[in-house]
Amino acid sequence: MQPYHSIDDGRWAWKRLDTLRLRGTYAFRSLLEARAPLAFGSDWTVAPLSPVLGLYAAVTRRTLDGKNPGGWFPEERVSLDQALRAYTAGVAYAGFMEDRTGVLRPGMRADIVLLDRDVFAMPAESLAVVRVQATIAGGRVVYERR
């Protein structure tokens, strides 16, 4: 699933779908409660590539137009920990790679993104301002913010 679409589509989807159908869109929490595996992605190029913006969307569900400050269908918000797992272990599971990536553990690939602040020590509403400082993939620094 692409969390960003929830904060984008939440601006206009009500014009085309009834509430019953809308409740089933981007049903992150419902899927987790049903014990379904959840994998997040960006859907780039039709949505921003940033997984940080995806985290913001999954955790807050605040639509881009500002009309849903408590979240669009807020009962489907997930915790930051759950969103991070969907972007890491969930993606590894979806790609049949959970035996080699998706978690930080000895023997696993250590693909890591370093952020400019501790996302667990800040309000969820501020997640959108977090920036990537560096990315390490396959043991090599492949991106470094200047």
Listed by start position, the domains of the chain span 4-144
Task: Quote the pLDDT of residue 110.
Answer: 81
Q: Mapping DSSP to helix (H, G, I), strand (E, B) and coil, where does residue 86 land?
A: helix
pTM value > 0.75: yes
Q: Is 42 helix (H, G, I), strand (E, B) or coil?
A: coil
What pLDDT does residue 139 have?
84
Q: Which two tokens stand for residue 31?
A: 């899927």
**H or E element, residue 87:** helix 80-87
CATH of 4-144, one of 1.10.10.10, 3.30.70.100, 3.20.20.370, 3.20.20.140: 3.20.20.140
Six token digits for residue 82 = 């759950």
> Given this model, what pLDDT does residue 91 score?
96
Low-confidence ranges of the chain (pLDDT < 50): none
User: Among residues 102, 79, 84, which one has the least CA distance to residue 29?
Assistant: 79
